[in-house]
Amino acid sequence: MRRHFLAGTVMLLGLTLVLGFGYPLLVTGLSALLFRHQADGSLVYRGGKLAGSSLLSQSFTDSEGNPMPRYFQPRPSDAGSGYDGADSGASNLGPSNALLIGFVPGVNTVGLDGRPSAANPFATRADPACVPTDPKGNPVTSPTPGQRYARNPDGSYVCDPSTVPERAIAYRTFNGLPASASVPIDAVTASGSGLDPDISVQNAMDQAPRVARARHLPAHQVTSLVHRYTQGRQWGFLGEPTVNVLDLNLALDRLR
């Protein structure tokens, strides 16, 4: 046994040296020689200053946290408090969780007394799946009889804004789409990393008229820019077609 421990110790020290230091340094050196831009993180500069990475989504919100109409908006994010490059991650909400899908009768709907219910007592006209919030803005998925709720001026419940039905409503309002318009799924769901740099082509096309209005540009100029920044499937079948939000927004800013 002592023999094994001796050999094991030498092996481990050697491997730490060779695999722990030599190997990553070799790969780093070769990468710097061959693929410098990628190895550095596909960084994007504007006016000489680091503006982000083509591979990481960033938020396009004003100082009050509202999405800026003049920029294409990325997908919702659950990385930290949103688009946090130091805290990648997903919502991990299950497919029947009320925080994701809202209250769906027969699945997760709960009455004011906290018991399963056949109808959603918090439904509003705009959102039949409404999940109410408490006065602090936290969603309430298991109501109790004494629970207090946040209300709108008209008396209706304030709904948790991050369920898919609520995000769909906000997306239509923001982009001036009719209430019947179908919303692309990627626009109302968070990605696995929370840093998804891409949106779907349909999502970009739905946003294009709004961006054109905010920038006083002809609509066709913005849509043709979207087409130019649409990445098809690699080799025709690998992955999905995408539009890179940061690259597209940088191109928009350059139009001036």
Integer Cα distance of 209 and 204 in angstroms: 10
Q: At what angle do helices 201-215 and 164-175 cross, to 10 degrees?
A: 40
Integer Cα distance of 240 and 185 in angstroms: 14
Based on the shown chain and the rule CB under 8 A, indicate whether residue 10 belongs to the binding site for another protein.
Answer: yes
Give residues 15-34 in contact with another protein (rule: CB under 8 A): 15-16, 19-21, 23-24, 26-28, 30-32, 34
Give residues 55-94 in contact with another protein (rule: CB under 8 A): 55-56, 58-63, 68, 71, 75, 79, 83-94
What b/e string do you get for 110-148 counting C-beta neighbours within 10 Å, with b at 16 or more? beeeeeebeebebbbeebebbbbbeeeeebbeebeeeee
CA–CA distance from 100 to each of 138, 167, 233, 243, 255 (Å)?
14, 10, 29, 25, 38
Give residues 100-129 in contact with another protein (rule: CB under 8 A): 100-101, 104, 107-108, 129
Among 40, 138, 147, 219, binds another protein (CB under 8 A): 40
- Exposed / middle / buried, residue 203 (Cβ in 10 Å: 0-12, 13-18, 19+): buried
Give residues 126-155 in contact with another protein (rule: CB under 8 A): 129, 141-142
Q: How far is the CB of 215 from another protein (least distance, A)?
A: 13
Closer residue to another protein in complex, CB, 61/124: 61
Q: How far is the CB of 102 from another protein (least distance, A)?
A: 8
Q: How far is the CB of 200 from another protein (least distance, A)?
A: 5
**What tokens were used for 151?**
């209300």
Based on the shown chain and the rule CB under 8 A, indicate whether residue 251 belongs to the binding site for another protein.
Answer: no
- Exposed / middle / buried, residue 223 (Cβ in 10 Å: 0-12, 13-18, 19+): middle
Among 145, 216, 237, 256, binds another protein (CB under 8 A): 237
Instruction: Specify the DSSP class assigned to residue 22.
Output: I
Based on the shown chain and the rule CB under 8 A, indicate whether residue 190 belongs to the binding site for another protein.
Answer: yes
**Interface pattern 165-184 for another protein (x via CB under 8 A):** x--x-----------xxxxx
Q: How far is the CB of 153 from another protein (least distance, A)?
A: 26
